[in-house]
Amino acid sequence: MTKTANSMWGGRFAAGPDAIMEAINASIGFDRRMAAQDIAGSRAHAAMLATCGIISDSDADAIGEGLLTVLSEIETDQFPFSTALEDIHMNVEARLRDLIGEPAGRLHTGRSRNDQVAVDFRLWVRDQCDAVDAALLALMTALIGQAEAGADWVMPGFTHLQVAQPVTWGHHMMAYVEMFARDRSRFADARARMNTSPLGAAALAGTSFPIDRHMTAKALGFDRPMANSLDAVADRDFALEFLASASICAMHLSRLAEELVIWSSAQFRFVKMSDKWSTGSSIMPQKRNPDAAELIRAKIGRIFGANVALMTVMKGLPLTYSKDMQEDKEQTFDAADNLMLALAAMSGMVADMQANVPSLEAAAATGFSTATDLADWLVRVLGMPFRDAHHVTGTLVAMAEAKSADLPDLTLAEMQSVHEHITADVFDVLGVKNSVASRVSFGGTAPSEVRARIAEWKGALA
């Protein structure tokens, strides 16, 4: 079997790995997407080396300009990536040597691939936190738009997927705004914690060169350098936090996707999805399938899987770096890609979907949805203990059910046969619109409360 030497390893390894070892060892197939971060880190490192007098200004200038040329080649698909050179770091350095010659060999002074990959990956994940934040903001804005349009629209609220109490469409939409706002805060927290620089930790113990780690940290937008060189190269908490936050966000997306699948069915007819996010059937011409929502619901499993996979990679590793950690990136890249895709698709679906207001209102009036309002009225007007009111209401529900009717369909005489002090005023609380209008407690479903929360969020997001 043919063997190829890797000159970047130096004299210790005269013979390179065979094809199988090269295949399992190489990461350039996926870590090439960190090229911009790798070059940014290298340019900051070279500038610092010159400032500290470790390399000459002319060498640093040549390195800086050469790296910009490499970046341009990569961005224009003219870069000759090589699997034999293993990873993005070695590919960039080898190309830099082709371009500028000897000064390229001084770039790696005072650092290792261990801290280099740590800073590249941290920068990439930090960028993804920012991208996810922008995508979440777009989704929240779409949900607020729906909530504002339907602050007065009545629909059923569910527990156990059974009709429970009437709520408003706006209130339901704003529930997801709250969920995705928590997701934004989780990504923001993770970003703040990860914003420390591992660059300069070298292989694991730091370096004897008089480098300035604070300078490179500042140049790369970090708050400060990491305080322990062992932790700097061994840590992947930042990726795990990103994946944990992504998993919770993905779960929220899946819950909303599930509702859209249910709501767009012929049995519910709560919403109509636009043609952009639906497909037809190859055999059934009447079908309108919510495929985008279904695919979001399915893709979420990949994000969950990435979280578990990286936890599994890291759980048994002694300090500091082990090659196992090369498996951190594919999982994270895949999860980030699928999360961004799901967020974009969900934003589009939410913005385009049309609520079927008559169907929502009709469904809100079914399933004895105002039974709690009746019990509350008995307590408030007749002074009954709630448990007694609950029993009376349950008896009236059973009476209506036996007649295949709903509570508002019972006559006053029928109600008085259960409790003689019930008056005609009770019918005022049995309408679904009256029910939702009465829920004025903070965070309640009353249109006035929904509009107040919408105004707060519009102000916060602005």
- Maximum Cα–Cα distance across the chain: 100
Can you tell me the distance from the alpha carbon of 162 to that of 155, in angstroms, rounded to the nearest whole number? Answer: 13
| DSSP label of 202 | T
Is 281 among the residues known to form the active site? yes
Question: Checking DSSP bridges between strand 224-225 and strand 196-197, what pairing results, if any?
Answer: parallel
Q: How far is CA 69 from CA 56, 72, 95, 99, 219, in A?
A: 20, 5, 10, 9, 20
Q: Which of 58, 281, 322, 448 is catalytic?
A: 281
Shortest CA distance to 411 belongs to which of 388, 430, 436?
430
Question: Checking DSSP bridges between strand 271-272 and strand 354-355, what pairing results, if any?
Answer: antiparallel
Is the separation of the CB atoms in 129 and 184 below 8 Å? no
Can you tell me the distance from the alpha carbon of 163 to that of 155, in angstroms, rounded to the nearest whole number? Answer: 10
Can you tell me the distance from the alpha carbon of 332 to that of 344, in angstroms, rounded to the nearest whole number? Answer: 18
Copy the structure tokens of residue 95: 């190309």
Q: Which of 160, 208, 282, 441 is catalytic?
A: 160
Strand runs labelled E in 336-454: 354-355
Can you tell me the distance from the alpha carbon of 356 to that of 272, in angstroms, rounded to the nearest whole number? Answer: 7
| DSSP label of 87 | S
Q: Please name the residues in contact with 309: beta carbons below 8 A apart, sequence gap of 6 or more.
A: 327, 331
Secondary element (H or E) of residue 167: strand 162-168
Shortest CA distance to 36 belongs to which of 144, 153, 123?
123
Report phi then psi at 162, rounded to 5.
-110, 145
Is 112 among the residues known to form the active site? no
Q: Please name the residues in contact with 255: beta carbons below 8 A apart, sequence gap of 6 or more.
A: none
Placement of tokens 């639906």 in the chain: 278
Can you tell me the distance from the alpha carbon of 25 to that of 7, in angstroms, rounded to the nearest whole number? Answer: 16
Annotated active-site positions, please? Answer: 160, 281
